[in-house]
Structures are given as C-alpha cells and as structure tokens.
Structure 1
Amino acid sequence: MASQKDIDRQIRAYYGGPDWDEGARLTSRSAQGSLEFVRTQELIAERIRAGSQIADIGGATGVHAAALADAGHEVTLLDPVSEQVEQARAYGTFEALVGDARGLPLEDRSVDVALLLGPLYHLSEREDRLRALREAIRVVRPGGWVFAAAIPRLARLAALSGGAGMPRGWEDLIEHGTSPAGGRFPGGHFHTGAELAAELNESGLLQVEVVGVEGPAGLAFEQLTEIDPELYSAALTVARAVAGQRGVQDLSNHLLAAGRRP
C-alpha cells in the first residue's frame, strides 16, 4: 500500500498534468460523468436552503461549484492542486483557493454547507478521513450540512479487472478497501456504504444517510460516450428509485453521504 505522502504526490501529478480534464470527466467524456454530475447536484439541492454559503472542498476545476453559484449559492472552492484552482478561477463566479481538506483555511462556523466530493477516497488512513470530516464540521454552522463522496469497493474492483480477471491485491480491496498497487489513479481507500456511514457518525454528524449516486447503470455508462436520451432517462429513474437501498447502493460508481452538524 502506498504511503499517504506518495498518494499526495500522485494526486498533484495526476490532476495537475496535461492528460486529465476533470471538467470533461463530468460532462462529455462518458455518459457516466453526466449522470454523476446531475445526480450529485440533485442530492445536494434536495437538502440545502436557497442562497447557502458553500465550501466545495476538493472541488477540482469547479464544475460543481459553478453550477451551485449559478443556482444562487455563495461558493468557496478549495483544492490542493494549484493547476485545478487556476482553471476554477476562470469561471469568475466563485472564490477558488489552494487548500487541503485536512486543514482548511476557513473560519469556524463560516459556511452553511461543506462538500467533500473527492477527498475521502484519496485518504488511505481512517484517521485522516475523520480529520477531513471534522474539519468540514468545524467550518459549518450548527444545523448545516456536510456531504461526502466515496468510491465503492465493488466499483473499483470492476474498473481494475476490466473483465480480464482479478487484479493483484483484490482480497485486501474487498475486505479492507485498500487500494491495490499499480494504475494511475491515486486511490487511497474504497468504502462500503456501511463504512462510510460509520465514519460520518463517528465524526459527530447527525441524520446520516448514504445513497448510491449513479445507480447500477453507472458502470455500463462508463463505456458510452454518446448519451441516448431514452436510456439516460431510464438510468436516472433507476438511480433515484434504488439510491438508498443497502447493498444496491454499493453497485453505483460513487456513494454520497449527507449528515448535519449538531
């Protein structure tokens, strides 16, 4: 297993290099990215109030932040990769800062909502994940929401095997969520829905709920670059219908947990 220092270096190389476009991943690279974006925005909008102050922690190039700003929210994006922050600043509709989820440059109780849509699956140690969650809680006002995304173990296993047999280290991946060696993606940890809920509860959040974002169709949608409207509508319907079902949620490409600060 790679050390967190190694993963941190890989994150900056992976996301800061010329071969990765996070904006395209969520919009045009595959039908899965569009499904992830739409469902994530829906799940956030269902819970937060109009005109919220939002910290988008690990917000990458600002695709989610821009949509939330367009919806009337006041957004501050933070990301550890300076190249991504520069791209995010180009929107001009929200503030974008370089920052690490484990030590946020924000005041206590300064926002209504904190989003952790990327950091948790890049942190290999549970204590680091809890530290990031507690930092998010620190900056959120009482009664405010914290949202945290994770990649399920089964989704990562499917991506690694690619139909060509089990990857090395798959036992540790399934049993412990440990990222196998090899591959470019700087994964730190892969969750189950129950494990993600437990981490949010331990961090001190209340009313914790975990849902699958894309639903079972997400893995197939990774292979589709063209979005058929009828098929897309069906996938959205299924994703909404089974989002909270235990076990089924782990068949999604991403999990999204929500909890409230006491």
Structure 2
Amino acid sequence: MSDQTDIDARIQTYYGEVFDEHARLTTRSAQGPLEFQRTQEIIRTHVSGGRVLDIGGGAGVHARALADGGFDVALIDPVPRHVEQALSIGVDAHVADARELPFSDASFDAALMLGPLYHLASEHDRVRALREAARVVRPGGVVFAAGLSRYIAFGKATLGRPVPELYPGEWVALAATGTPSPGRFPAGHFHTAEELQAEVTAAGMHVLEVVGVEGPAGALLESLQDAGEQLSDAALTIARASADLPGIRDMSAHLIAVARVPE
C-alpha cells in the first residue's frame, strides 16, 4: 500500500502544477462532458434542492452547475489552486480535508464525494472520510461517493502491450486488491462496485445503488477530442442502459455509490 503522506504531497503537485481538473470535465476529451452529464443526472435523480457540500470538488464544475440549478452549494478541496478556481466562478469554496470536515453535524442535505476516495490508500481513511460526509449530512440526507473502477485501471495498465509469461507483481496487486501501479496520477485505490458498496455500508450508511457513470463506451470517448453528436449520444444511451448491471457497471471509469444517512 502506498504511503498516504507521499500521496497527499503528490496531489498538491499534480493538481496544483501539472493537471487541469476543470478541463478534464469540459474540453480535454469527449469523455469529460459525458462524465459531467451522467454525474449530474445521478445526483438530480436523488436530490432536487437544498444545501449540498461538494467534498473534494476540484475546480467547482459540478458545484457551479448545481448552484445554477437552485442548490445552495459549498465546496472544500485540499488543493489551493482548485479553491481559487472555484471562487473565481462564484462557488463558496474553502481549503479542507475530506477526513476532517470543518462543518457541524447535520448541516447539509446532501454531500458529494467525487474524488477523495480514490486518493486514499487505506480502507481506514476511506471509511473515515465517508463517516465525515455522513456526519455533516442530516438524517435522511444523501451521500454520493465515487470510486475509480479497478477493471478500467487494470485495462489501462495491461492492454495494448505484450503479455508476460508471469504477470508482474504490480499487475497482480492492482487486480487483486486495487493497489495502484506507479504512475504520475496520485492514486490511492481502485474499487470494484461491490467493494465501494461495502465501504459505504461500513461507514454506517444505507446504500441505495451503485452505478457506473460513463458506461462501456466511455473509454472510447476518452481517446477522442470530439466524438461528434451521434457517437456521443450513443455512448450516453449505453451508459444509462448499463449503469446498474453487475459487472457491466465496472466498465465505467467512475462508479458512484448513492447512500442515505440513517434517520
């Protein structure tokens, strides 16, 4: 398992100096708009208004869209650059850590965790962050917790290259336990849908569903700058149709667990 202190430092470098998180959801590839639209659909299927906390909300793309839709949104993120970007588009944003939220109990109607879990290496830290999200959401409120698909991560690490006679240890660790292979991205863990559900349950919440976001065609759109209307619409249709199918949902790059805080 990776050292969390090292991951936390790499997060600051990666998102603060190297990678543009705003562009990832907007212009970097055709997959970004698909992920954005599907995530917004999933959120709005379960909540129609109220006060929402966007935990690890990046540059504020989702927060701004929800605010424009009438939600009262606050955002926290550990990366100062992200907070500055969110503030610049009118989002109430603060630097903070998902594992220790600076808010009172039951002060929100819903919480988004669309990034923190896949940057936390230990199950202890992931469940801790989930419990913090549940703590600040009122009883009966909803938490949306995202993980990165282990299936997709393994494919990116192994496909399109010669298959060794014996799988390297890092391939085995990725497939068996979700442990990231070394790379530029500061990953802490890759989930299966079933594991994500188990961790949210361990945090004391009732899981309503675990869904795939982009669907099986998302990987194709990730390789294209502009997929065109016909291909984008087809990918969206497939994503919606396959969202809750066990096994197939893991073919989405992102998984989202939708959970209710106990009454």
TM-score, normalising length: structure 2: 0.95
CA distance in 2, matches of 1:188, 1:11: 10
Q: CA deviation at 1:3?
A: 0.2
Q: Which deviates the most, 119-128 or 149-158?
A: 149-158
Q: Deviations over 1:146-190 (max 9, x none)?
A: 00011111111222335124676010101001111x210000000
Q: Which residue of 1 aligns with 2:179?
A: 178
Which residue pairs with 1:214 in the alignment?
A: 214
Match of 1:88 in 2: 86
Aligned counterpart for 2:73 among listed residues 72, 75, 96: 75
The equivalent position to 1:153 in structure 2, one of 144, 150, 157, is 150
Task: Tell me the secondary structure at the aligned position of residue 73 of structure 2.
Answer: strand
Corresponding residue for 1:49? 48
Compared CA separation, residues 221 and 168, structure 1 to 2 (3 A) = farther
SS of equivalent residue, structure 2 residue 5: helix
Percentage identity across aligned positions?
54
Q: Do the aligned residues in 2 keep the contact of 1:61 with 1:88 (CA within 8 Å)? A: yes
Corresponding residue number in structure 2 for 1:223: 223
- Whether contact under 8 Å (2:196, 2:257) holds in the other structure is yes
Contact 1:201 1:208 (C-alpha < 8 Å) held by counterparts: no
Would you identify which runs of 4 or more consecutive aligned residues in structure 1 move more than 4 Å?
A: 165-168
Between the aligned partners of 1:130 and 1:2, the Cα distance in structure 2 is 17
Distance in 2 (CA, whole Å) between partners of 1:55 and 1:225 is 31
| Residues in 2 aligned to 1:77 and 1:199: alpha-carbon distance in whole angstroms | 23
The equivalences for 1:1-262 within 5 A come to 1-17=1-17, 19-50=18-49, 52-92=50-90, 94-161=91-158, 163-165=160-162, 169-180=170-181, 182-262=182-262
SS of match in other structure, 2:112:
strand
Query: How far apart, CA to CA, are the structure 1 residues paired with 2:39 and 2:173?
Result: 29
CA distance in 1, matches of 2:246, 2:36: 22
Contact 1:200 1:208 in 2 (8 A): no
Residues 215 and 239 in structure 1, CA contact (< 8 A), matched pair in contact too: yes
**Equivalent position SS for 1:249:** helix
Letter in 1 for 2:173: D
Residues in 2 aligned to 1:162 and 1:87: alpha-carbon distance in whole angstroms: 35
Any idea what the Cα deviations from partners look like across 1:207-238, whole Å, max 9, x if unmatched? 43100000000111110101310111111111
SS of the residue 2:59 aligns to: coil
Q: Report how many residues are paired.
A: 258
Please tell me whether the aligned partners of residues 60 and 86 of structure 2 are also in contact (alpha carbons under 8 angstroms).
yes
| Stretches of structure 2 lacking an aligned partner (at least 5 in a row) | none
1:4 partner amino acid: Q
Q: Is the 8 Å Cα contact of residues 197 and 207 (structure 2) preserved in structure 1?
A: no
Superposed CA deviations along residues 106-158 of structure 1, whole A, max 9, x for unmatched, are: 11100001100000000000010000000000000010000001111111122
Amino acid at match of 2:213: V
- TM-aligned CA deviation for residue 206 of structure 1: 1.2
Tell me how far 1:7 sits from its aligned partner: 0.4
CA-based RMSD? 1.2
For structure 1, the 5+ residue unaligned runs are none
SS at match of 1:46: helix
Write the distance in 2 (CA, Å) between the matches of 1:26 and 1:236. Answer: 15
SS in structure 1 of the partner of residue 46 of structure 2: coil
Instruction: Calculate the TM-score normalised by the size of structure 1.
Output: 0.96
Letter matched to residue 153 of structure 2:
R
The CA distance in 2 between the partners of 1:126 and 1:207, in whole Å, is 17
